[in-house]
Amino acid sequence: MTRGGPASYDGVADEYSRALDPDGVGLDDPVLTELVGDVAGQDVLSLACGQGQDARLLARLGARVTAVDVSAEMLRHARRHEEAAPRGIAYVEGDAHELAAFADESFDGVLCHMALMDIPDLDAATRSVARVLGDGGWFVFSIVHPCYGGHVEAVTDYLLDHRYRKPRPPEWLPEHAYHRPLAIYVEKLTNAGFRIERLEEVHYSAADAGSVPGLFYARVVRRLRRRRAGSGDR
């Protein structure tokens, strides 16, 4: 998901689709599902949707789902699953930094599963999410926990906001991602006008972890925009 360049997931899309959710059932993540909550009848955007795992979860929960990704190859797999078992999901090729295909206040909620650490410009992405959300709209995301990622030195690197090369990435993931301390996520979200509602940190035992020993989840809500004078502004 390199800004201004080729999508990093294009080159691994086939391997990614084979490794994760090859049958197209959709994501099974109890923590994420709880944070999303009751979305039946809501218009929800699946941001950086990849091959559509979380988009299919949202559809299963009753949302009207639009999904966007910069990778044409990942979207090819997502559309293949949609054709095999239609769920009414609209897949759109687009950049998370701009979300140019969507008007202001188009959605009730936005879900971004395990992708913000692959997006180069976090500030631009969070501001775009805020723009397409209606007043009080929600944003739920999950990321590899920066403390457990295995890619930083605890003392020297954790506080650095930087692009890094993964030491031993599986063949279905790109070589690079973006490490940010949690404070950076909080700063960018609050600067974009979000209020943090809930944070969750999940640690996995060594036997269950595989290459992801910990995840970080957040639910934030966009603050009400200031009303024009004479229209109930307080």
Give SS3 for 111. strand
**pLDDT for the residue numbered 141:** 97
Cβ within 8 Å of residue 13, ≥6 positions away: 51, 71, 73, 74, 76, 77
User: Taking residues 183-205, what's their average pLDDT?
Assistant: 92
Mean pLDDT of the chain: 86
**pLDDT for the residue numbered 167:** 66
- Read off the pLDDT band of 144 (50, 70, 90): confident
Model pTM? Answer: 0.88
Residue of 27, 51, 66, 54 lying closest to 112 (CA atoms)? 54
Residue of 3, 105, 118, 127 lying closest to 49 (CA atoms)? 118
Gap between the Cα atoms of 184 and 40, Å rounded: 32
What domains are there in the chain, each with its CATH number?
A: 10-222 (3.40.50.150)
Task: Return the H-helix or E-strand segment holding 54.
Answer: helix 53-60
Tokens of 225: 């925009």
Distances (CA, A) of 26 to 35, 81, 85, 145: 17, 10, 11, 22
Beta carbons within 10 angstroms of residue 162's beta carbon: 10
% of the chain at pLDDT higher than 90: 61
- Read off the pLDDT band of 205 (50, 70, 90): low
Contact yes or no for 13/76 (Cβ under 8 A) = yes
**pLDDT for the residue numbered 229:** 43
**pLDDT for the residue numbered 207:** 46
175-178 contact pairs (CB < 8 A, 24+): 176/8, 177/117, 177/118, 177/144, 177/151, 178/117, 178/118, 178/119, 178/120, 178/122
pLDDT in tens, 11-26: 888 888 888 888 888 8
Contact yes or no for 139/107 (Cβ under 8 A) = no
